[in-house]
Each structure stands twice: as C-alpha cells, then as structure tokens.
Structure 1
Amino acid sequence: MKEFQIAILDVECATGMKLAVPRNFISLAILGTLTSSALCQTWEREDVGFESIQSRARDLANKEYVAPNRDSLPAWMNDLTYDQYRDIRFNPNQALWAAEKLPFRAMFFHPGYLFREPVTLNEFTSTHQQQIRLAEAFFNYGPLVAKHGDLPADGGFAGFRLHAPINNPDYFDELAVFQGASYWRALGKNQRYGISSRGIAVDTGAEGVTEEFPNFREFWLRKPDADDTQARVYALLDGPSYSGAYQFKIDPGNVTIVDVKAVLFARREVKRLGIAPMSSMFWFGENSRRKFDDFRPEVHDSDGLAIRMGTGERLWRPISNDTGKLEFSFFDMEKCDGFGLLQRDRRFSAYEDGEAAYHLRPSLWIEPTSDWEAGRVMLMEIPATNELTDNVVAMWEPARTPKPGDRIEFSYRQHWTMDPDPSQADGHVVATRTGIHDWQPEQRTITVEFSGNALNQQSDVPLTPMVQCVGPNCDKIKIQGTTIQSMPEGRWRVAFQIAPTAEGGKLADVGPVELRCCIKRGENFLTETWVHRVIP
C-alpha cells in the first residue's frame, strides 16, 4: 500500500485501481479518519444516523419486496465446500481501524458457500461515510482455494465481526459477529460462542405458514474515537413482511451489553411476530429421560428459560428434548421485565467436553427498555438427535399483531453473561431430575434443587415447599410425598412423586401435566417458580 500524500487526489490501491477523491474532502482532519484498509474506498459527505436508516426502511416498506438474488455471486463462490470456505481467512493486518490502534476493530466474512446474499458494509464518521468494497487484499486464501475465480466488481460481504480487548488488554478478542439473515452473537469475558440472537422472528412455529427470515441488507459501522468504550452499528433490515432500522450499541466487558433500538414497518400482516428472538441448542441434560449414546453427561448451550414478569414473579422453565415432537410453551403477561435462555450449570464435569466448552457458553438475558405492552414469552422446543443445529427458540410475542402500514418501535438491552440469576430472583433452580423405580412403575419421582442466600439464613420459621399442578389433566394425578432436604453447597432439594388419581391407573394414560414448585418461609416466597411440563 502506498503512502497517502496530501497533495495526491488519486489514491492508488495495491490492486492498481485508482479511486478519485474529491478535492473538497481532502483535509488533515479527514485524512486522520482513513485507515489503511479504507484507502481503496471513496469517502462521501453523509450524515449517517438512526433517522436516516429509518427513512430508508420506510421507503422500502412502501415498495414491493424484492428478494435478494441468490445467484449474483460467481459460480466458484457458490460452489465452495465447507472446508474450502473455512480455508478463506480474513487478513488481520487489514482489519478496519487496526493501524490507528483504536479500541475496536472490524473484520469481514467472504461471500460464498451458504452465504450467497452479500450484504453491503459501510464505515462512517460524524460527517462522512464510505462503502467498503470486496477485495482480495482483505483475505488469505488457503491451499484449498489457491486457484479461484475473480471477485465481483461491486461485491458485498457475508457479514462482519467486531474485535476488542476483552480478556487481555494486548489482544483483540472476538466481540460480536453479524452473519446470516438477521443473526448476531456476542461474547463477554472468558465466554465461547453459543446462543444466537436475531432481528425479528416472523411466523416462527405458526401453523399453516412458512417462517420468514428477513435479512440485514446493509450495515454502517461507526469509526470509534480513541476513548470510546462502545461500538456502534446501524443495520437496514428487509423481508417479505417487514422492513426495519436497527441501532446496536455494544459495550464489552465481563458481561457484554448490547443496547438494541429498532423501528419496523409492516408490509403485510403475519400470524406471529417475535421481538428479541434468540436461538439455542439443547440435546440432553440432567433432566432428560431420552438418552443418547454419548460419552458426555450433558450437551447444551442453554438449559432453561428464565422470565421476570411485571408482577415481580420469576419463572424458570427447564428445556426438554424428551417427547420427540415439536413443543410450545406460552407465558402470558401484561408486562415483561425480562426473559432469556440461560446456561446455569457452569461445572466442567457436567459436560466433560474440553473442545466445545459448553460450561463457557453465555446466557442471553433481555430487558425491555421501552414499553412492550401486553403479550407473551414463547418457548419453542424442536426435537433433536444431535448437537449440530439450534433447536430451541425463545421470543416475545406482542398481544396485538401489527397491521399493514403500521410502524412498530421497541428497544431492549441484551446481557451476554455467565450470571446464573440475571432475573435477580436470589433463590433459583440449579437442577431438575426425574425417574421411575422398577418396584413403583406408576409413580414418578421429581426433584428440584434450589440455591440462594435467603434459603440459608438462620430462622425459627422453617422452609416450606409448594408443589401444585395447573391446567388440564390435573384431576388425573395426585402429588404426594413432598419433602425438602438440605444438600451440599448450600442447595435445597424439593422432592415429590406424581401418580394416577384413579385406583390401578397408568401414568401413560394421564397425558402431559404442568407443574409448579417453589420454596416459602412463612408467607415470604424465597425462590423463583419452577414450571415444567411433565409427560408422566
């Protein structure tokens, strides 16, 4: 790369291509904003902000939807195998903002393989923006793709990732990845990628319709100042039913915080709109009755859904993969104070997997920062026979489905965390177990273990377990033998049995039942409420 001289108006790139830089853009102030990897681009005066992205989203919604062209890439890109695609790596020396030693860096993903709908990436400052164009100089092509075709003249990227010094002040770790449809993932200190988030969910699990996956078509990455502690990104979303504008403020740390602001414009009515959706993986855990031939005790990115209702009640719903069929759980409320898919079990011995490091996968906790009004949290569990794909979805579904032409605005804060109790219940569930003895084939034993400071405080008032059945089929079972027992490590175990009400009845004839369990001291509730659907 040639030195950039103030007197030169044609910037010559390593590829030999020249880009004209308008004379009125050349100033010492503007030159200071350009990075080495940006010298092959053209800066334009532009006021980039959430309002301008929102205006573009509104314009899209007023037009007929045009799907991205999945055949726009050269054949050699579309035909890349998994191994070939992995053999294309970004050149860290070309990372955006690396040469200026700024607090964040950006690296880009090569288009091709599964990622056939390139997205446009832009860099912007307070006064200017430039499109970042696809170039070979960004990438190192390994031996599996040493002989490849040309890159598109005006090609985009498959996405990007942000880096920041999270674990070590001298090393820029991966902080967040935006790649595929409207998905992103983030990391805090000492975390490994697991759960994913996405912009919106459209008709997820809705009967009689096909789920839509809107795309982030274009991104704007704000060039950070030297003292910035947050990265800022804007995104333009487009899909058959919705267009939208998104703002992300990403604050790295032990817990990485992502503040999300969005405005959607409805093209047409859908059956189900999901706000703040997240996807995770659960194959089996300590609560699983469906066993697999695997050396590991548990395999999952998340082991339960936590909810904090506007009434103050906290819920915990263990994830299950037992029935072999699609399962839905809905939690209606007038106001939601938070929800998320959590990975509570942090013991390495629970997983015994040094490569996947499931004990280091982050939990994702959502807190609304605007009025979401009434609605419900939806949990969808898809049957799985391996750990290769996400099979759990959680999201907020508004009570009122937007109509065509509606404008929908919402915001929320994401916590990518290792905290086992982000809902601040104090007393929280740490394990669910269940089983049947051969000598009691029509009686199922269930144990629920709780942990929390209030449970272990000295008091003359004893702890009291509460177990109840709610909803259909409750008249078909009886709950018996309820006990509470102190366990090692400050845990408290509630154990009980369920059996058919009818004399000589069979558990198999009962059908699914919804159970609830918590611990009280006197009139004070000390724990969140365990809620679980049990197939006796």
Structure 2
Amino acid sequence: MNRRRFIKASFALAAACGAPGMAGLFSRTAWADEAGIADGQTRAFDFSELQNMASSLAKNPWGGAPRPLPNTLATLTPQAYNSIQYDAGHALWNNIEGRQLDVQFFHVGMGFRRRVRMFSVDPSSRQAREIHFRPELFNYHDAGVDTRQLEGQTDLGFAGFRAFKAPELARRDVVSFLGASYFRAVDSTYQYGLSARGLAVDTFTDQPEEFPDFTAFWFETPKADDTTFVVYALLDSPSITGAYKFTIHCESTQVMMEVENHLFARKDIKQLGIAPMTSMFSCGTNERRMCDTIHPQIHDSDRLAMWRGNGEWVCRPLNNPQRLQFNAFMDENPKGFGLLQTDHKFESYQDIMGWYNKRPSLWVEPRNRWGKGTVGLMEIPTTGETLDNIVCFWQPEKPVKAGDKLNFEYRLYWSGDAPVHTPLARVYATRTGMGSFPEGWAPGEHYPSQWSRRIAIDFIGGKLKESAPKGIEPVITLSSGEAKQVEILYVEPFDGYRILFDWYPNSDSVDPVEMRMFLRCQGEAISETWLYQYFPPAPDKRNYVDDRQMR
C-alpha cells in the first residue's frame, strides 16, 4: 500500500514486476551509421510492429521477476542512488543544434531492478537503433559505485527516462517515466505532484495488486524546433501486455499527452484500471484529523472531478479515512475525470519543502468510446505526506478474460487547472466542524444537548448571483441522518455563496454517510453536483468536551 515509494522526490521506488527475455522480439539486421548515443544495429519499427510484439508476448508465459543486479547497484541507498546523474553531454538529442527538447536516462539500481531497453527511431526511415548502457553515460559522483562491475554489461539497460524542454535543457525536467509503469509531468511551475500509470491491475480486489512494467521505449527523433515528441512503450505483466503510443506536447503552461494503447490479456483479470493516477491527501479544509502541524493543509490533490457521459459535473472532495475506502461511480462514455489541485495559494499550505500550492492537476479526456464502467476511487489511511494514499482509474464494466484485446485512447492534461470546467456554479471548497449552535457563536458555557456535525460547501461562478434574487435552493440527499439548520450565506471575499447545514445522526451506526447536494433555482440546476463521504464517530464520542482548566 506504500505507493509513495513509487514517486518520492523526482522518481518512483517501484516493486518492479517481471518481463520475459525479449531477444526474439528484437532480432538485429544490418548496421547503420552511428547517430548520437544509439549504438545498436538497425531494425524497421512502427506502431503496428509494436502491437504485434505485445500480442505475441501475451501468448507466452510471463518471464518473471527481473534478474539480479550487480551487487554494487543492488545495495545502493536512496541517497547514493540520487547522486548518480546522467551526463547531459550524452543526452539523446544532444547532436541536434538549437533543439527544444532532449531526453536523459535513469540508472538501474536500488529498487529499480527492471532493465528497461531504449531505442532511437528515425521518423523518416522508420529505422530503430538500441541505446546500450555504458558507464560513461553517467556521472557517479560520490555514489560509491564500483564501475568495474559494470564494464561490458551492455544489457544492463536503464530504469527510465526524463525529458527536458528549452530553456531548461539539462536542468529541470518536464516529464519523467520511472518505476513500473509510473510517469509524471509538470506545468509551468516545474513542480512535480501526482503520478499517472500505464495500467492498474487488481488495485482493490481479494488478491495482491499487480504493477505492470514498461519494459522498452522507442523515441522518435524530433526536429530542432519541435516542442512535441513521440515515444512508444511496451508494457508487460503476469496478466496483460500492451503497446502504447505517447504523443507528448510540452507547451508553455502545461504538458498534454495523447495516449493510445492496445492491450492483450494473458489471463482473466478481476479489476482492470485504465488511465490510473496516484496522489496524496493527508488533510485539507474538510478533513483536519492529520493536520496537527504548522501546515493548514497537506495534499497533492484536493478532489476528484468528473464530467459524466450524461453531461453532469461532479465534485467529490478527497478524504484521509481511518479505514480503507473504495467507491465506484457508475458512468457510460465519460467525457472526463481527474484528480485536481484547485487551491494554489501559498497561505493555504505554508510549505516551503513540498510546495503544494504549485502542484499540478491531472485531467483525463477519453478520445474513443469507453462504454459502460465506473470511475474507481480508493482512499487509504495515511499518517502524513510521505505515503501516496489516493488511487483513481476507469474500470470497464465488462470483465476482462484471457485472450481479450482492448483499445483505449485518451488525453492527459498536466496543468494547474483542468482544461475544462462546468459553466454552472462550481464547488470552491468544503469545510466541516462542530454543529448544533448558531453560526457566529461559540458553543459557549452550555454545550448543546444534541450532537451534530456542520458541513459548509462554498460555490462560485455560474449564475449564482443572478439567481440569488429568485431564490437558491440547496437539494440535499443523505444516505442516513438528517440535515437541519440549512443556511445560504453570500461570502464577499470569494464572491460566492456558502451553503451550511448540520448533519444529525438517526442511529448509532458508524458506516460512512453518503452526502449529495446541488443548487437549484426555479426548478433548474445551477451548480455542479457535490458528493461527500462523512465518517460518523462512535456514539460515545458524539459529545463536546470542555477542556478548560480554571483556578
């Protein structure tokens, strides 16, 4: 469950899965003139060939866990591993004068045991050449690596890659693929946050989660002035293989990826996660149980947003629950979904280490028809910010059987804000606290006789202000309990409206309470739909405690 291992700092500490020997898939032909750091023999390559590779691979047993690394790499500490740096003078496209893009590779070692193969592709001739590992591609600094153990090991491969964009070439990367099938990108803040994955398998089932690997990458050489590059990837795991095409647009304010995959199931799969993403939510405006620090909020993402196939917009604030929770939101041909970081004010975090105010959102836009399925959301209890505890993905309704072939096309937007949002009023923030007393008054010397929890949802935008004179009606639905003391308040600082209500229990149950609300004016919906999951305390905890000590 320790997903933070996969993306600590600028990389992912992966429990790498295995891949078969691929010698048969990469038979060599004639030599070609040496170009850049690609030193292997040439072979014709295109996306259809990669799909054939993945299809053939799926008909054979999985190759198992990766081979052992040389001892000098297997025993590296995180600090030592971080001190190994790729030599920028050997970057993939270093021989292209005036280039806008470049690629460097990560060293294998420590938890990165999967030997990933890298290939350079000439887009005009469609010829590919392998880039073999050699120690001179790296600067080892004080990592303590005995490079004598690495001499001649051209099959050592690499752990992953990262891409750079001018004018930050060789200094600040904008895309990183490292660990299993994990990858990340940044916006104009150059601050990494949540991660995406190529695929998720059995994230929430009665068997261990499976982490597929990207086992090889092919890079099309861009032109000097290109700010877009294409990379192909082969995915492999015990249950499934896949051929991926990433068209990565490194724009000025965001990174946008066009993804096309072709998947081939080796065996039946209980839960297949498409376009998965992994994030962290420790505490925020609605959940402050773990916020006993100097930081008002701690999270990479604050909500799950969905634009459903029927046109409905949904906001679901994230939780750090006391016990693991999994929710599935049914949909058909979704228009989009993502984990968003909507609060970009430094004052909200007061953090000069994680810089959570700079962390990007990630939005998925399906490009072909995905049919029926669910957006799955798993929230795992965490004690702090070092553990990734939020997982989100699309799960097709139809069970995946051995021999099935699937195809999904989508775009991934890495940016401060989602590329689209509802024209209706949208949720600005969700807040919770003690209830059963008038807003503006403390509970006072005499505490209320009946316990309740106050919920406040702030809405902004849309037609809120012009609807107010006609009457704004909160439509509240609860799975249990009652909503009382409902209030509608205009809040000038954010030029929006706060909806307040107190939730009163009607039983001793501690099961999660599903809350749903939207705003209506004269019978017409004027806001997106707010969903929330509240966890009532045990009956003996439903009281107010006065801990004052007076002499």
- What TM-score does the superposition give when structure 1 sets the normalisation length? 0.87
Question: Which residue number corresponds to residue 3 of structure 1?
Answer: none
Return the offset for 1:390.
Answer: 1.0
The secondary structure found in structure 1 opposite 2:275 is strand
Alignment of 1:329-408 (within 5 A): 329-408=327-406
Return the offset for 1:169.
Answer: 7.6
CA distance in 1, matches of 2:94, 2:244: 25
Return the offset for 1:97.
Answer: 0.9
Return the offset for 1:118.
Answer: 1.2
Deviations 1:476-511 (A, max 9, x none): x1111111111122121100011134xxx6xx5463
CA distance in 2, matches of 1:257, 1:420: 11
Question: Which residue number corresponds to residue 242 of structure 1?
Answer: 240
Question: Which residue number corresponds to residue 92 of structure 1?
Answer: 88
Task: Give the RMSD, CA atoms, in angstroms.
Answer: 2.1
CA distance in 2, matches of 1:413, 1:217: 22
Q: Is 1:164 the counterpart of 2:171 in the alignment?
A: no
Return the offset for 1:173.
Answer: 3.7
Aligned partner (choices 464, 476, 479) of residue 467 of structure 1: 476
CA distance in 2, matches of 1:464, 1:69: 59
Return the offset for 1:292.
Answer: 4.1
Aligned partner (choices 469, 478, 485) of residue 482 of structure 2: 478
Cα distance change, pair 161–339 in 1 and its aligned pair in 2 (3 A): same
Question: Which residue number corresponds to residue 415 of structure 1?
Answer: 413
Deviations 1:283-314 (A, max 9, x none): 11111142343111111100110011111111
The secondary structure found in structure 1 opposite 2:114 is coil
Segments of structure 1 that go 5 or more residues without pairing to the other structure are 1-20
CA distance in 2, matches of 1:194, 1:147: 33
Native 8 Å contact 1:314 1:425 kept in 2: no
Return the offset for 1:315.
Answer: 0.7
CA distance in 1, matches of 2:45, 2:296: 50
CA distance in 2, matches of 1:251, 1:228: 9
Cα distance change, pair 42–337 in 1 and its aligned pair in 2 (3 A): same
The secondary structure found in structure 1 opposite 2:238 is coil
CA distance in 2, matches of 1:296, 1:447: 21
The secondary structure found in structure 1 opposite 2:155 is coil
Residue type matched to 1:484 in 2? I
Return the offset for 1:436.
Answer: 1.6
Question: Which residue number corresponds to residue 211 of structure 2?
Answer: 213
Question: Which residue number corresponds to residue 220 of structure 2?
Answer: 222
Cα distance change, pair 366–80 in 1 and its aligned pair in 2 (3 A): same
Native 8 Å contact 2:254 2:413 kept in 1: yes
Alignment of 1:84-483 (within 5 A): 84-101=80-97, 102-126=99-123, 127=125, 128-145=127-144, 147-151=146-150, 152-165=153-166, 168=167, 173-206=172-205, 208-253=206-251, 254-321=253-320, 323-419=321-417, 422-437=420-435, 439-440=447-448, 442-457=451-466, 460-469=469-478, 471=479, 474=480, 477-483=481-487
Return the offset for 1:249.
Answer: 0.4
CA distance in 1, matches of 2:67, 2:385: 28
Residue type matched to 1:178 in 2? F
How many pairs align?
491
CA distance in 2, matches of 1:390, 1:379: 13
Deviations 1:260-297 (A, max 9, x none): 00000011111111111000011111111423431111
CA distance in 2, matches of 1:387, 1:179: 20
- What TM-score does the superposition give when structure 2 sets the normalisation length? 0.85
Question: Which residue number corresponds to residue 519 of structure 1?
Answer: 519
Question: Which residue number corresponds to residue 61 of structure 1?
Answer: 58
CA distance in 1, matches of 2:327, 2:295: 28
Question: Which residue number corresponds to residue 9 of structure 1?
Answer: none
The secondary structure found in structure 2 opposite 1:154 is helix
Residue type matched to 2:473 in 1? T
Residue type matched to 2:165 in 1? A
Return the offset for 1:256.
Answer: 1.4
Segments of structure 2 that go 5 or more residues without pairing to the other structure are 1-27, 436-442, 537-551
Deviations 1:303-355 (A, max 9, x none): 1100111111111111111x311101111112211110010111101110122
CA distance in 1, matches of 2:155, 2:380: 40
Native 8 Å contact 2:265 2:405 kept in 1: yes
Native 8 Å contact 2:101 2:169 kept in 1: no
The secondary structure found in structure 1 opposite 2:470 is coil
Native 8 Å contact 1:213 1:239 kept in 2: yes
Residue type matched to 1:76 in 2? T
The secondary structure found in structure 1 opposite 2:301 is coil
Cα distance change, pair 292–459 in 1 and its aligned pair in 2 (3 A): closer
Cα distance change, pair 460–333 in 1 and its aligned pair in 2 (3 A): same
CA distance in 2, matches of 1:170, 1:82: 25
The secondary structure found in structure 1 opposite 2:289 is coil
CA distance in 1, matches of 2:452, 2:388: 33
Residue type matched to 2:232 in 1? Y
Cα distance change, pair 330–170 in 1 and its aligned pair in 2 (3 A): closer
Native 8 Å contact 2:177 2:184 kept in 1: yes
CA distance in 2, matches of 1:421, 1:411: 17
Native 8 Å contact 2:116 2:159 kept in 1: yes
Native 8 Å contact 1:76 1:149 kept in 2: no
CA distance in 2, matches of 1:329, 1:304: 14
Identity of counterpart residues, as a percentage?
37
CA distance in 2, matches of 1:302, 1:421: 16
CA distance in 1, matches of 2:261, 2:145: 42
CA distance in 1, matches of 2:137, 2:237: 29
Return the offset for 1:525.
Answer: 1.9
Deviates more, 1:141-150 or 1:299-308: 141-150
CA distance in 2, matches of 1:344, 1:355: 19
The secondary structure found in structure 2 opposite 1:385 is coil
Native 8 Å contact 2:118 2:158 kept in 1: yes
Residue type matched to 1:334 in 2? E
Deviates more, 1:364-373 or 1:456-465: 456-465
The secondary structure found in structure 1 opposite 2:136 is helix
Question: Which residue number corresponds to residue 13 of structure 1?
Answer: none
The secondary structure found in structure 1 opposite 2:53 is helix
Q: Is 1:495 the counterpart of 2:500 in the alignment?
A: yes
